[in-house]
Chains A and B, each alone.
Chain A
């Protein structure tokens, strides 16, 4: 269906696209911030698939 260019539907699409874009950008920023916070706090930085033994051996 064709709508005239100034139809409200384009405004709604624009708001949706912009909203999703901002949410994705915010999500990236949060994951980055969380990563920095966890590393600085000395938290677990290796995945759950790494056992303690493996870490020690790797350090040796």
Chain B
């Protein structure tokens, strides 16, 4: 391909609104919205619906802004990985500088607006989340440590804490445990994915655990994190936001998750290749359901409270 062709494409490649929206990682944003909403709704303090709606929206915009900044910084590796090749920057629809501008503007906008809509703690937590995800994870640690997933998971785990802070203006053991659920869930979720998309991360020279410590070690890590995750989920069940309904769901789901992790731990790559990573794929699918159902159960517990059924 000649330079002339590239230039013509760049001029013709004016982005549509959807391309800019795709920069905000809408799928990640939906997780942010859901977990932040749960954090807000399970809090013991009521919030005006308009304040709640606006706050969740600004948290989502902040999450989206950090996604745009992540895509700006990671454009080089996104071009190399099959999974990320079609993102707006590598596909040539949006320029890197546009992603940077959009990300920075929306970050400031989201933090300021959240501060005005709710309180300064919530705004501060959102600002820290964006900083953590973009600077600590994306720019600094993602490319130098195989524990990158663990660190990145922390950024994704903040939204329920922010939602809780919107309602209460503070931080509680409950909000910390909600943070811990997503934090401990992220590594087994992504390492299972890395086991069956092995070449991608290697090609992009991102130090995934599968590449640096080997696949056997990754299987051990998945099992260990799954056990810690179970402890966190059950601990959440005995706090003020837990109850019999949540506890039942948590026990069943964690038993299934541990069983899946145990199967992954027990087998080697030869066995996994033989059935095209069936157990790893099943575990990954279950992990998607796992987080959604856990937070859904917490919300269910809060919804049962007015009928005298929620909580212990």
Contacts and interface: CB of A to CB of B under 8 A. Distances in A.
A and B found bound together? yes
A12 B48 contact: no
A36 B50 contact: yes
Interface residues of B, number: 17
Interface string B1-41: 00000000001101111101100000000000000000000
Contacts of B48: 37, 40-41
B79 to A, nearest CB: 22
A28 interface: no
A37 B51 contact: yes
Interface in B278-302: none
Contacts, number: 39
A1 B11 contact: yes
Interface residues of A, number: 18
Contacts of B11: 1
Name B's interface SS: helix
B117 A12 contact: no
Given A36-B50, A37-B50, A41-B48, A30 B16 contact: no
B91 interface: no
Contacts of B54: 30, 33-34
A54 B12 CA distance: 58
B57 interface: yes
Nearest to B18: A15
A9 B17 contact: no
Interface of B: 11-12, 14-18, 20-21, 48-51, 54, 57, 116-117
Contacts of A36: 50
Interface of A: 1, 9, 11-13, 15-16, 18-20, 30, 33-34, 36-38, 40-41
Nearest to A22: B17
Nearest to A30: B54
10 contacts: A1-B11, A9-B12, A12-B16, A13-B14, A19-B21, A34-B50, A36-B50, A38-B51, A41-B48, A41-B51
Contacts of B117: 34
Contacts of B50: 33-34, 36-37
Instruction: Kindly list the 7 A-B residue pairs having the minimum CB-CB distance in the complex, ordered from nearest.
Output: A19-B17, A37-B50, A12-B16, A15-B16, A15-B17, A37-B48, A33-B50
A18 B48 CA distance: 31
A33 B51 CA distance: 9
A12 to B, nearest CB: 4
Contacts of A41: 48, 51
Given A15-B18, A30-B57, A38-B51, 13 more contacts: A11-B16, A12-B15, A16-B16, A16-B17, A19-B20, A20-B17, A30-B54, A34-B50, A34-B51, A34-B54, A34-B116, A36-B50, A37-B48
Given A30-B57, A34-B117, A16 B51 contact: no
Nearest to B117: A34
A29 B310 CA distance: 35
A32 B11 CA distance: 39
A20 B14 CA distance: 15
